[in-house]
Amino acid sequence: MEELDNSCGYLSGVSPVWCSGCGYYGILSALVEAFADLDLPTKELALVSGIGCSSRLPYFVKAYGFHSIHGRGLPIAQGVKTANPNLTVVAVGGDGDGLAIGGGHFPHVARNNVDMTYLLFNNAIYGMTKGQFSPTTTLYPVTKTSPFGLAGDAVNPSALAIVYGASFVARGFSVKKEHLKSLIIEAIRHRGFSFVEILSSCSSFNTTDMNVARIIRGLTMVPNDHDPKDSIEALRLATDKEKIHLGVLVRNERPTLGDRFQEAQQKAKGRGSGTVEALLGQFA
Amino acid sequence: MHPDLVLRIAGESGEGVITIGETLCRIAAREGVHIVTFRTFPAEIKGGACMIQVRLSEGPIPYHGEQVDFLVCLNQVAVDENLPDLKENGALLCEAECDVSEQPGRTVYKVPFDRIATREIGSRISKNIVVLGSLSHLLAIPKKSIEAFISEKFARKGKTVLDHNLEALQKGVDFAEQHLAKKDPYKLPGGSDQKRLLMTGNEAIALSAVAAGLKYFFGYPITPASEIMEWLAVHLPKVGGVVLQTEDEISAVCSVAGASWAGGRSMTSTSGPGLSLMSETVGLLSMAEIPAVIVDSQRGGPSTGMPTKTEQSDLFLALYGSHGDVARVVMAPTSVADCFRVTALAFAIAEKYQLPVIVLVDQATSARLETIDPQILDRLPQASRLCAAPGDGAPYARYRLTDSPVSPAAIPGTEGGEHMVTGMEHDEFGNFACDDETHTAMTVKRFRKLDEIENDPLTQDLCTRLGDENGEIGVVTWGSTAGPVEEALAVAKGLGISAQAIIPRVLNPLPHKELKAFFGKVKRVIVPELNFLGQFASVLRSTYRIPTIGLTKIKGVPLEPREIVEKIVEAASASNVRSMKRYGRAG
């Protein structure tokens, strides 16, 4: 357990359950500092998560928090934002939670362009269950459930977000806290579905895939002249085998799910009154 | 029983069979006639045999009727399949080409519908309107009412289409007037001044939900529940609500969980396969204490089962589905009108007690048209969520343990109400806690809600009581089987058998006081239901330690009153034999 600096005032006081040396401390720190920089009222902040090490994060933040069931953070967050659009909704979760068991929801919140932020903590392992492979495990093939090697190849979270049509896609690294914080701020400010893949080392069960020294050696920043509307180039950067590109890969504006609901409400009102008495009338 | 008419229209899907039935229903409902219908759906996407049975009556009726008084068949297959259900002295109106065996007492009318439609009108699809014309003559339905209805229905399609249809109607009338001499006694029953509303169970559920304040609906298409979402998709946005078709049922119920936690009245609807997928989230809703209404329109199961057929086989799933000890409420409406009351009650209970409520309806009720009393809105149950107003300095505890199992909920956005909700076992503040004391205290808290619900004024006197209150033969049923049971008791009474029935609308928590009193009075308990295992009977046996006589059916259609009557007769004679033996021994 590590001591956390709560000068920003956004920590709840509940101590994180994460292992010593876990990259998630850095992410938590970047996240609460981002909230402070954005000056978000805690009463209007909703943190939603599924199950896993990263999904424990809402307990540690002073906000409205919903720690739900494995893989279902995204549809719950979609419901929260739909019913209460004034809230800043942030979903957090891991690579297993979001890409394995919950992988079916990711494309749909992305294409619906729900006005929320999804932070995917990618440590390429199942940590909470103590060391089974995840959909992003690559360089550490022998895990407790893959003693003779992995059954399949890894998926690339940022690349998936791009092809799913997320209107904001970025990649950060838990160790580069200031950069990560700036990405989270941009993601929260973005109007629409914003996705940030956060590379983070698991100090207990997979120190290989997200090995800090290896990632620092391999990383580079997304070029300044990258046009975030160019999703093909964004995909090329996201899938680059030589370098790990950190930064904003995609940013574009399009109607959000909330916009479409409003449009539907306008159109529906043109089709008659919504009073219950009027609705009853159609059965006469 | 009131004077009534059991009418059935049968043909090929696509021939306009259902339109004929529905048109007659709309017209009769406006005249104040009471109506219950039943229709079958072919498993095929296009084509296949289909029928609609319409029972019309001057007074309330619980069931769509057994034997048919007046049968309309649009082709030979329809004649062959449906003639056995026609009463001995019934009447048949059919396509002229059909081959119908002679039978004394039966009246047969033949009209060349196909020829009139194709040759005289020049449009095959107007055949059903020609049928309506002939029917209006034979059943003494005022032609003006039909004309008015057709004019409304086709007004938007332009004058040419409308004129076409009015002409088809007239041709049907003309042929009947010229060629058919009325020989049977059947006619449209008289109505009253009180116009009645006509809707399906699915529509009643959707409308009731809107009346109960539904704002957020998430769902995934599934037969036979899709109609709820489709209706709401058109109308819920009118009241500022939203409908979203999600990627699966898990997403639907989870979106409901999120929207409800954020303060909006939320609902999903599905059928058995969807409820199976939602089971884990039912546990979450119970654990996190979040209100939600989940409608399950049951169909034949297990697995994909028989999607277009009715069954009451999801009771165990609704009562017990989801791991762990899950406090949830289960309700079952008995008719279309009852869908109105039960859905509104489901919202009231879900909000008041902050837990999931599952409404078990079935395909037969979901899809059937029935007339309801327009004043239905005046009597809807209402309740709202107990909301917290923190800010008095003390830290807010979402799951505070008090005398009441219901803790005030801070809706996200509330000043000072920041908290955690979670599927993990948790302390009063929502922080995870796995110690035995907390788990016990919180489990008891969640289940105490059920005790309070059982005694809540909202759930009192919700059992339908039928028959003779001193009857020794008892019938307990649930959901749509209530209708045939009501008819069966009337028949049994006619046979001199004294029987009574109790039909609870809340299946969890069961109305223990009423059921115990009932079991104390009767000597036999028959439990008719539409599943193989006798699921409700099993619940009653284990809860009340009473023997039951099961009556189950899995043919995809409702129980018929005579099937229940047979069981009542059997139980009554066994009961007599037993008491005679006892008498003999004593002597």
Nearest CB to A62: which of B211, B412, B418? Answer: B418
pLDDT at site B72: 98
Task: Write phi, then psi, for A172 (nearest 5 degrees).
Answer: -130, 180
CA distance A217 to chain B (A): 39
Contact across the interface for A265 and B30, Cβ inside 8 Å: no
pLDDT above 60 for B79: yes
Least CA distance to B268: which residue of chain A? Answer: A79
Chain B contact present for A166, CB below 8 A: no
CA B114 to the chain's CA centroid: 36
Nearest CB to B237: which of A45, A86, A264? Answer: A264
User: Would you say residue A141 lies in a domain?
Assistant: yes
* pTM attached to this predicted model: 0.96
Burial class (CB in 10 A: 0-12, 13-18, 19+), B398: buried
Do A247 and A270 reside in the same domain of the chain? no
Chain B contact present for A216, CB below 8 A: no
Contact across the interface for B207 and A46, Cβ inside 8 Å: no
CA distance B79 to chain A (A): 32
Do A144 and A227 reside in the same domain of the chain? yes
pLDDT at site B393: 72
Number of domains in chain A: 2
Best residue of B30, B31, B228, B239 to probe chain A, by most A CBs closer than 10 Å: B239
B260 C-beta neighbours (distance < 10 Å), count: 29
- How many Å apart are CA B443 and CA B429, to the nearest integer? 15
**Angle at which helices B127-138 and B143-154 pack, to 10 degrees?**
160
B417 contacts in chain A (CB < 8 Å): 43, 64
CA distance A52 to chain B (A): 12
Do A50 and A116 reside in the same domain of the chain? yes
The mean pLDDT of chain B is 94
User: Would you say residue A84 lies in a domain?
Assistant: yes
User: B529-549: per-residue pLDDT in tens?
Assistant: 999 999 999 999 999 999 999
Rounded mean pLDDT, B316-336:
98
User: Would you say residue A14 lies in a domain?
Assistant: no
B557: left (phi > 0), else alpha (psi -120 to 50), else beta? Answer: beta
Nearest CB to B256: which of A79, A86, A269? Answer: A79
pLDDT at site B267: 98
The B68-73 sheet, strands edge to edge: B107-111, B86-95, B68-73, B4-12, B49-57, B34-39, B369-372, B197-200
Three-state DSSP at B450 gives: helix
Nearest CB to B421: which of A66, A75, A108? Answer: A66
Running DSSP on this structure, what letter comes out for residue B389?
-
- Listed by start position, the domains of chain B span 4-179, 198-379, 386-460, 464-586
- How many Å apart are CA A69 and CA B281, to the nearest integer? 8
Confidence at A129, pLDDT banded by 50, 70, 90: very high
Q: Are B310 and B364 in contact (CB under 8 A)?
A: yes
Best residue of A80, A262, A273, A275 to probe chain B, by most B CBs closer than 10 Å: A80
pLDDT at site A6: 87
DSSP per residue, B527-552: EEESSSS-HHHHHHHHHH----EEEE
A76 contacts in chain B (CB < 8 Å): 254-255, 257-258, 261
Contact across the interface for B284 and A268, Cβ inside 8 Å: no
Rounded mean pLDDT, A132-161:
95
List all residues 6 or more positions away from B35 whose beta carbon is below 8 Å from its beta carbon: B25, B28, B29, B54, B55, B56, B57, B61, B196, B198, B369, B370, B371
Confidence at B476, pLDDT banded by 50, 70, 90: very high
Residue A182 or residue B576, greater confidence: A182
Contact across the interface for A283 and B198, Cβ inside 8 Å: yes
CA distance A94 to chain B (A): 17
Confidence at B47, pLDDT banded by 50, 70, 90: confident
Least CA distance to A257: which residue of chain B? Answer: B244
Second-level CATH architecture of B464-586: 3-Layer(aba) Sandwich (3.40)
pLDDT at site A41: 97
List all residues 6 or more positions away from B421 whose beta carbon is below 8 Å from its beta carbon: A65, A66, A67, B261, B288, B289, B290, B398, B430
The number of residues making up chain B comes to 587
pLDDT above 70 for B584: no
Do A219 and A278 reside in the same domain of the chain? no
pLDDT at site B3: 83
Do A209 and A277 reside in the same domain of the chain? no
Do A208 and A270 reside in the same domain of the chain? no
Contact across the interface for B284 and A67, Cβ inside 8 Å: no
pLDDT at site B580: 44
pLDDT above 60 for B94: yes
The A219-221 sheet, strands edge to edge: A219-221, A244-251, A168-173, A194-199, A117-122, A88-94, A45-49, A64-67, B420-422
pLDDT above 90 for B427: yes
Do A170 and A194 reside in the same domain of the chain? yes
pLDDT at site B1: 61
Best residue of A56, A89, A280 to probe chain B, by most B CBs closer than 10 Å: A280
The mean pLDDT of chain A is 96
pLDDT at site A254: 97
CATH number for B198-379 (one of 3.40.50.970, 3.40.50.1010, 3.90.1150.10, 2.30.30.280): it is: 3.40.50.970
> How far are the Cα atoms of A275, B4, B360 from residue B214, in angstroms, in the given order?
13, 37, 18
- Most distant CA atoms of chain A, gap in Å: 73
**Angle at which helices B249-261 and A73-83 pack, to 10 degrees?**
50
Confidence at B191, pLDDT banded by 50, 70, 90: confident
B402 C-beta neighbours (distance < 10 Å), count: 11
User: A253-271: per-residue pLDDT in tens?
Assistant: 999 999 999 999 999 999 9
Domain that holds residue A264: 255-284
Burial class (CB in 10 A: 0-12, 13-18, 19+), B140: exposed
User: A196-223: per-residue pLDDT in tens?
Assistant: 999 999 999 999 999 999 999 999 999 9
Do A276 and A212 reside in the same domain of the chain? no
A269 contacts in chain B (CB < 8 Å): 237-238
User: Which CB contacts under 8 angstroms, 24+ apart, belong to A10-13?
Assistant: A10/A35, A10/A36, A10/A42, A10/A61, A10/A62, A10/A63, A11/A60, A11/A61, A11/A62, A12/A59, A12/A60, A12/A61, A12/A62, A12/A63, A12/B418, A13/A62
Which segments of B45-113 are extended strands (E)? 49-57, 68-73, 86-95, 107-111
Do A272 and A235 reside in the same domain of the chain? no
Rounded mean pLDDT, B460-470:
95
Nearest Cα to Cα of residue B34 among B372, B515, B379: B372
Q: Are A261 and A185 in contact (CB under 8 A)?
A: no
Do A51 and A136 reside in the same domain of the chain? yes
Residues 230-259 of A with CB under 8 A from B: 257
User: Would you say residue A55 lies in a domain?
Assistant: yes
Do A185 and A263 reside in the same domain of the chain? no
Nearest CB to A280: which of B207, B266, B413? Answer: B207
DSSP per residue, B557-570: SPPPHHHHHHHHHH
Q: Tell me which of B224-233, B380-389, B393-402, B575-584 is least confident.
A: B575-584
pLDDT at site A2: 61
Contact across the interface for A43 and B418, Cβ inside 8 Å: yes
> Could you tell me which residues are beta bridge partners of residue A152?
none
| Dihedral sign for Cα atoms in the order A133, A135, A141, A147 | positive
Query: Which amino acid, one-letter code, is at B140?
Result: A
Q: What is the CATH number of domain B4-179?
A: 3.40.920.10
Contact across the interface for B430 and A264, Cβ inside 8 Å: no
Q: Would B4-179 and B198-379 be classified into the same CATH topology?
A: no
Best residue of A47, A82, A116, A273 to probe chain B, by most B CBs closer than 10 Å: A82
- How many Å apart are CA A10 and CA B92, to the nearest integer? 78
Angle at the Cα of B47 (from B42 to B52), degrees rounded to 5? Answer: 50
User: Would you say residue A6 lies in a domain?
Assistant: no
- How many Å apart are CA A223 and CA A240, to the nearest integer? 13
Nearest CB to B254: which of A75, A81, A86? Answer: A75
pLDDT above 80 for B575: no
Rounded mean pLDDT, A110-115:
98
**Reported ipTM:** 0.98
Nearest Cα to Cα of residue A51 among A65, A71, A66: A71
Confidence at A29, pLDDT banded by 50, 70, 90: very high
- Most distant CA atoms of chain B, gap in Å: 88
For residue A160, the domain's CATH number is 3.40.50.970
Nearest Cα to Cα of residue A106 among A34, A30, A148, A158: A158
Least CA distance to B421: which residue of chain A? Answer: A66
Which residue, chain included where needed, has tokens 């332009």?
Answer: B158
> How far are the Cα atoms of A49, A70, A256, B303, B433 from residue A19, in angstroms, in the given order?
19, 20, 38, 43, 19
User: B239-273: per-residue pLDDT in tens?
Assistant: 999 999 999 999 999 999 999 999 999 999 999 99
A62 contacts in chain B (CB < 8 Å): 418
A275 contacts in chain B (CB < 8 Å): 239
Confidence at B5, pLDDT banded by 50, 70, 90: very high
pLDDT above 50 for B582: no
Percent of all residues in chain A with a pLDDT value above 90, rounded to a whole number: 93
Do A158 and A242 reside in the same domain of the chain? yes
